[in-house]
Amino acid sequence: MKKTTTRLADGRELIYYDGRDDAVRDAVDRRPLDPMASASEVRRDPLLGEHIAIASHRQGRTYYPPADECPLCPSQEGRLSEIPDSDYDVAVFENRFPSLSGDTGRCEVVCFTPDHDKSFADLTPTQARLVLDTWTDRTADLSQHPAVEQVYCFENRGKEIGVTLDHPHGQIYAYPFITPRTEQMLRAAEQHREATGGRNLFDDTVEAEQADGRRIVLDGEHWTAFVPYAAHWPYEVHLYPKRRVPDLLGLDEDERAEFPHIYLDLLRRFDRLFGPGLPPTPYVSGWHQAPFGIEHRREFALHLELFTIRRTADKLKFLAGSESGMGVFINDVPPEAAAQRLRDVVSA
């Protein structure tokens, strides 16, 4: 992997990740942009102990431009984009409309491919491996940011999820705090450790799913994917390396080599869940990594959580009173049925 770092016209960082060592990325951003300025603020809810990002400047972010004006496609003569080069393998840049910036963290955009009409599921294993290596490198770099406590690499796909750009891309949030969901996992892991004389919650959870078997979707040599026993979403899969590591940096070469095949299989199964003739299944897919500098960090288990808000071919799962108001999810699809459906829908 070759890494080339440059700057956009407004001072934001842009990083090219190429699979070829001879790739040359020297194009200059010729857009007349003012220096980047954002007004991100993090506030703490005293009742819940949770942090909220206030980012009013995001109201003006780009919203569904036509394909020939996509800011994530490579620049061409007469059309300049966020990517000055005329081609790229994977490109990462600081978000022009960040939820977090400066002392409040950092937000980055990850462009998976220059092809506007593809999705992650359309990538080759070689391309998907390059994205994995990109996520790993960004985690390593952002871990050195003085304000950052946790890094979350994720993809939102589909208008139903709230995506405002069609080009295949993901994001990376580098938080200046530990997120509420991770705090819950850390508390549960500590309680489990105390109640079981030192056993690891993540290990026990994966072992229980493998022993039960009914919710296993894919089981490789180094990775296992299952629908969790208490799934929140209609179709939700958790993907774990079989060897517990705290973050992406901990994966070894065998685990990295197998990941693209397992993950692409999962994504293609998601796209076949509801039959032909429908738009691609909307989903959120994100890596849960251990926060930096916490006690028992190595007892946290890296894993990916993938879920869709579509519950049938023509119905979405909306977060209504119980979910939004009280945080109590009500799932219409039994996890065992979801797992069976995902096993039956064979990936191409």
Contact 18, 2 (CB under 8 A): yes
Residue 39 to residue 103: CA distance in whole angstroms: 11
Angle at which helix 125-142 crosses helix 253-271, to 10 degrees, equals 120
Single-letter amino acid code for the residue at 155: E
Q: Is the dihedral of CA 210, 211, 214, 219 positive or negative?
A: positive
Residue 318 to residue 296: CA distance in whole angstroms: 36
Q: Is 238 annotated as a binding residue?
A: no
Q: How many CA atoms lie within 13 A of 314 on its CB side?
A: 1
Q: Is 116 annotated as a binding residue?
A: yes
Can you list the alpha helix ranges (DSSP code H) found in 143-252? 180-195, 201-212
Residue 5 has a CB neighbour count (10 Å cut-off) of: 11
DSSP classification of residue 255: H
Contact 109, 93 (CB under 8 A): yes
Contact 132, 260 (CB under 8 A): yes
Beta strands 41-45 and 13-18: pairing type? unpaired
Furthest-apart CA atoms within the chain: distance in Å = 66
169 given a catalytic annotation: yes
Give the DSSP per-residue string, 288-314: E-PPTT-TTGGGS--EEEEEESEEETT
Q: Catalytic pick from 57, 169, 288, 296? A: 169
Q: Is 153 annotated as a binding residue?
A: no
Which amino acids are annotated catalytic? 169
Residues of each annotated binding site for Zn(2+): 70, 73, 116, 167
Residues of each annotated binding site: 70, 73, 116, 167
